Amino acid sequence: MGNEKTTFVYVTYIRASAEKIFEAITRPEIAARYWGHENVSDWKPGSRWEHIRADAARDVKLAGDVVESDPPKRLVITWAGASEYDNPDAHSRVTFDLVPYDDMVRLTVTHDELEAGSGMAAGISKGWPLVLSSLKSYLETDEGIDVFAEPCATDAAA
Amino acid sequence: MDDDKTFKALGDPTRRKLLDLLCEKNGQTLGQLCEHLDMKRQSVTQHIGLLEEANLVSTVKRGREKHHFLNPVPLQMVYERWIRKFEQQRLALLHDLKTELEGEQDGQ
């Protein structure tokens, strides 16, 4: 028990350049606007990244390592609850792939190496659709959605 | 443009069943999905094709096998556009009613 891994694959087509989408993921001041959190790192392979709630308290919710960064095409990071960062077994993996597609970019988020049935798996499966839908709205209409709206808000992936 | 495809893809019981099957267990192969459906493999492939076109299912090839993943992002967009709006209206009505009734209780 506890060893079975699971994978989620999320895809969204966004009318924006790959550069803008990559920036929206990696630049804290942009992520704060549609994600309610900032992703903070120097984004060099081997560096740590932190997922920080963009409010006065600035809680670090998640942390992980940058595995691969090839802007604006691909970003691979590991992903763990901030308090579990020191436990390698707690790290799952998130891959962002950006591929130009007509006048859009196909953004694929693959979240794998996740422990099946874990709280993290449940959290991210609610969180990613919300975050990606908000990212799309933000980049296409300049309006993100409220990622903390009930009943879908989760701290795990939001 | 995307909403049309989403609604069309959802307008069929077999395709909704396929989404339910993937929600239960993500990453299934065509063979695994067919086990739960009483129809020809070829028909199932066609239904999956429509779900892929609507971006409700994405596929990943691993070796010779193709795995299917539920992609709920378009459903989230539909929720934002078509459902949450009406929920908010209903909440606003309840709020108005509450304000009104409580106002009466104050004996104004």
In whole angstroms, what is the distance from residue A35 CA to residue B1 CA? 25
Helix (H, G, I), strand (E, B) or coil at A51: strand
Question: Looking at the 3D structure of chain A, how many domains does it have?
Answer: 1
Question: Do residues A65 and A48 lie in contact, with contact meaning Cβ atoms separated by under 8 Å?
Answer: yes
Question: Do residues A158 and A127 lie in contact, with contact meaning Cβ atoms separated by under 8 Å?
Answer: yes
CA distances from B101 to B88, B93, B94, B95, B104 (A): 20, 12, 10, 10, 5
Q: Kindly state whether residue A25 falls inside one of the protein's structural domains.
A: yes
Q: Range with the lowest mean pLDDT among A141-155, B27-41, B51-65?
A: A141-155
Kindly tell me if the per-residue pLDDT of B45 is higher than 80. yes
What amino acid is encoded at A119 in this protein? Answer: G
User: What does the DSSP assignment read for B39-67?
Assistant: S-HHHHHHHHHHHHHTTSEEEEEETTEEE
Q: Kindly state whether residue A92 falls inside one of the protein's structural domains.
A: yes
A111 touches chain B (CB under 8 A): no
In whole angstroms, what is the distance from residue B13 CA to residue A150 CA? 29
The verdict on a CB contact (< 8 Å) between B58 and A11 is: yes
CA-based nearest residue in chain B for residue A147: B80
Query: Is the complex ipTM higher than 0.85?
Result: no
pLDDT at B83: 83
Domain CATH code at residue A58: 3.30.530.20
B91 touches chain A (CB under 8 A): no
Q: Kindly state whether residue A23 falls inside one of the protein's structural domains.
A: yes
Question: Do residues A92 and A111 lie in contact, with contact meaning Cβ atoms separated by under 8 Å?
Answer: yes
What amino acid is encoded at A76 in this protein? Answer: V
Q: Kindly state whether residue A132 falls inside one of the protein's structural domains.
A: yes
> Has this prediction a pTM greater than 0.80?
yes
Going by C-alpha positions, the residue among A24, A5, A1 that lies closest to residue A107 is A24
pLDDT digits (tens, 9 = 90+) for A73-123: 999 999 999 999 999 999 999 999 999 998 999 999 999 999 999 999 999
Range of the domain at A91: 5-141
Q: Kindly state whether residue A119 falls inside one of the protein's structural domains.
A: yes
